[in-house]
Structure 1
Amino acid sequence: MTLSRRSLMLPLLWSCLCGAALLGSNAMAVVPIDQQTLQSWQKQSSKRPLLLDVRTKEEFAEGHIPGAINISHDQLIKRLAEIGDDRRLPVVVYCQTGRRAALAEAELEKAGFSHVYHLSGDYQGWEKSKQAVTK
């Protein structure tokens, strides 16, 4: 028995439509961004994102990605004003391993930020690949 391309696509289309209905019509997905793309964006004045480290201030002091600002994930809602009013600003979020970043990204999307990115590998991946850090 061979399946047609159409019969294979229908379940996929249905799951996408149902997922969109569950998430709401305004739902956005956080886009992963790799280290090389982030570094390229940081060099371009027109595409420079806000780099948001959502770890604790102690973790941030031990080392962080150059150019990052630190707002702990559990303080983000209270400190949104520090990010600014431009909800179209690209925001790249990272933490140590990804869990806290996911929480922060959800809050940013709820607050109306439309260009939220997650740094692939987070800070652990950044260190592992021997990228520059600021202490």
Structure 2
Amino acid sequence: MALSSRACLLLLCAALASPALAAVPIDNQTLQSWQQQSGKRPLLLDVRTPAEFAEGHIPGAINISHDQLRQRLVELGDDRRLPIVVYCRSGRRAIQAQTELEKAGFGHVYHLSGDYPGWLKYKDAQQ
């Protein structure tokens, strides 16, 4: 599947961005496209609480609560070039997680536009 021009632009922006810059927003359609591609898929990081995660989450996501991320960075692996898509419920915790990931040297951090509620709306619209 070919990448849309928007996805290509996001990838270019991410490649040129330094870790000190804010995370690049990514929309649900682009995330779904990335997840369907073979090769290196982004790590999908849900930074809500374990209870929120248990109530529902995006398939393939791992759960590390935003307040535990610093202590659990090792779970993300050693590849600091790995693209990571972060989401929560409203965006506040995802922004905190982005900052922590960027401090740890992750250079390709994306914030899912609309977070989990936005993904639910997107999936409902697809059906």
After TM superposition, the score normalised by the length of structure 2 is: 0.80
Q: 1:72 aligns with which of 65, 88, 109?
A: 65
> What letter is aligned with 1:78?
Q
Q: Which entry has the higher C-alpha Rg, 1 or 2? A: 1
Deviation at 1:42, TM superposition (A): 0.6
Deviation at 1:97, TM superposition (A): 0.8
Report the RMSD for the aligned CA atoms in angstroms: 1.3
Deviation at 1:26, TM superposition (A): 5.8
Pick the structure with more helix per residue.
2
In structure 2, distance between residues paired with 1:65 and 1:74: 20
Indicate the residue corresponding to 1:99 in structure 2: 92
- The list of structure 1 runs, each at least 4 consecutive aligned residues, that deviate by more than 4 angstroms after superposition, is none
For this pair of structures, how many residues does the alignment match?
A: 107
Where structure 2 has 5 or more consecutive residues not aligned to the other structure, the ranges are: 1-17
Alignment of 1:1-135 (within 5 A): 27-131=20-124
> What letter is aligned with 2:55?
E
Where structure 1 has 5 or more consecutive residues not aligned to the other structure, the ranges are: 1-24
Deviations 1:60-109 (A, max 9, x none): 00000000000000000000010100000000000001000000000000
